[in-house]
Amino acid sequence: MLVPENTVIGFIGTGVMGKSMAGHLLKAGYPLVVYSRTKEKANELLEKGAVWAETPKEVAEKANVIFTIVGYPTDVEEIYLGENGLIPNGKEGSYYIDMTTSSPSLAGTIYEAAKTKGIQAIDAPVSGGDVGAREVTLSIMVGGEEEAFEAVKPLFELIGNNIVYQGKAGAGQHTKMSNQIAIASNMIGVCEAIIYAEKAGLNPEKVLKSISTGAAGSWSLSNLAPRMLTGNFEPGFYIKHFIKDMKIALAEAERMDLPVPGLSLAKSLYEQLAEMGEENSGTHALYKYWKF
């Protein structure tokens, strides 16, 4: 894709995911302005030609298509709505795209605030982890105005390969919540199945060979259960971030009067794990719940 003359991309949050995603945009030839809480994390991009900004305000002043992918909804709120944030300092006609997994309600608030400044805000959380970000295989779930989505879609295509417009502002975040809800209960099932197999005196690797390909099969069973068995609990996805996501999903479900007993159970097990010091382990460390 050719770079339109007037597009300057801003990127806020150059952690494991953001760094790869920003790198794809830079490689495609776009001028890139970056800001991250920890400047060192942006060094690789700066060496490749990205320009450093000292604040989100500076990003808003220099760029007109701005991606954000940070940690928590409170971070998103500050970056978008704070005094030195994007919206108070933004330019009319800009596009702001939040890829953080954050609250659907906050996505709505940001959309409305942006609108008053003539800015299109889009929520576009992703799934696929660090590998997906590196290999351009992310699933991108998009909420906001459809015209705005179509305008920035060529940029999404540089970042992911399963890009679906889900509806109005917040719909991307709601879709990601649905994703996390499906994962939450399944992680319990995967762990219980493996621990049961071990306790029954079976060879869990052989059990996986029997059960992975059929009706019990899942991405977690195929990808995370083998790591449990080799004791590798390095984070593909942090427990602390998963707890954040489950809290958002539970709050939304409560708002809808929707009982989610599986999600509630998963959250309580993960919170116990976090208390035991596992918040920086990968989500598959749920296995350890049965080992403490």
Q: Which residues bind a copy of itself (CB under 8 A)?
A: 104, 127-129, 132, 139, 141, 162, 164-167, 171, 174-175, 177-186, 188-190, 192-197, 199-203, 206-207, 209-211, 213-221, 223, 237, 249, 252-253, 256, 258-263, 265, 269, 290
Give whichever of 2 and 256 is closer to a copy of itself, judged by the CB atom.
256
Supply the minimum distance, in Å, between the C-beta of residue 217 and a copy of itself.
4
Q: Where does residue 270 fall: left (phi above 0), alpha (psi -120 to 50 degrees), or beta otherwise? A: alpha
Q: Which two structure tokens, joined as six digits, stand for 252?
A: 């939304």
How many CB atoms sit inside 10 A of residue 160's CB? Answer: 23
Instruction: Please give the backbone phi and psi of residue 205, each rounded to the nearest 5 degrees, phi first.
Output: -60, -45
Supply the minimum distance, in Å, between the C-beta of residue 37 and a copy of itself.
26
- Angle, alpha carbons 162-142-252 (nearest 5°): 120
Supply the minimum distance, in Å, between the C-beta of residue 74 and a copy of itself.
22
Give whichever of 33 and 138 is closer to a copy of itself, judged by the CB atom.
138
Exposure string of 222-257, with b = 16+ CB inside 10 Å and e = fewer, is: eebbbbbbeeebebbbbbbbbbbbbebbbebbeeee
Give whichever of 3 and 219 is closer to a copy of itself, judged by the CB atom.
219
Contacts of 251 (CB under 8 A, 6+ apart): 103
DSSP helix/strand/coil, 68? strand
- Catalytic residue (choose from 117, 176, 244, 267): 176
Give whichever of 48 and 206 is closer to a copy of itself, judged by the CB atom.
206
Supply the minimum distance, in Å, between the C-beta of residue 138 and a copy of itself.
8
Separation of alpha carbons 198 and 193, rounded Å: 9
Give whichever of 199 and 277 is closer to a copy of itself, judged by the CB atom.
199
Active site residue 176: yes
Supply the minimum distance, in Å, between the C-beta of residue 2 and a copy of itself.
29
DSSP, res 143? E
DSSP helix/strand/coil, 162? strand
- Looking only at the bridges linking them, the beta strands covering 95-98 and 65-68 are parallel
- Residues classed as catalytic: 176
